[in-house]
Structure 1
């Protein structure tokens, strides 16, 4: 994971924008990267409608994504690190 150093303090990339398209959630990070992941990697997002997926908001100064209607929170550092539930655990 790429970190940013600010005055000798390591700062993890945070989200500046988040959106969903075609069952994929995208996040634009403070370091300029855009990353995406399939919604079906998370059980609650897998069951969500396309419209519900689009209702993602950024919380905690860019360190979390929130879907209020779904009561789902995902950390941005976890996404950047690739910490997704294993498919076999979702069944």
Structure 2
């Protein structure tokens, strides 16, 4: 029996991203493109198109940062299929503050 192992010491880097109304897609340095539901990241889901498109790579491609949404997503979490770990209470506080400003 063969088993698949993942060498987490050689995690590929994010090259570029694309965001639609319901998907976050990342192109990786190893040639893969991985798409995950935007619903995994509620701040992105509730952000405007302008806010979602205002991102920058961090850690030389280890992650993505959205300053206006105060959101960070790592390539490791995308590869492992892990959604946002933000608590519902924290997210609701952020959403309430947004609505009060808007």
> Is the Cα–Cα contact under 8 Å of residues 2 and 13 in structure 1 kept in the other structure?
no
**TM norm structure 1:** 0.76
CA distances 1:55-86 after superposition (whole Å, capped 9, x unpaired): 22211111011111111111111111101148
User: Structure 1: 5+ residue runs without aligned partners?
Assistant: 5-9
CA distance in 2, matches of 1:31, 1:2: 14
Could you tell me how far 1:28 is from its partner in structure 2?
0.4
The question of whether the paired residues in 2 share the 8 Å contact of 1:18 and 1:56 is answered with no
Distance 1:73 1:66 in 2: 5
Supply the RMSD in Å over aligned alpha carbons. Answer: 2.4
Equivalent residue pairs, number? 84
Q: Structure 1 stretches (4+) deviating beyond 3 angstroms?
A: 1-4
Larger radius of gyration, structure 1 or 2?
2
Larger RCO, structure (CA 8 Å, separation 6 or more): 1
Match of 1:82 in 2: 81
**After superposition, what is the alpha-carbon deviation per residue over 1:35-62, rounded to whole angstroms, capped at 9, x for unaligned?**
1112221121121112221222211111
More helix by share: 2
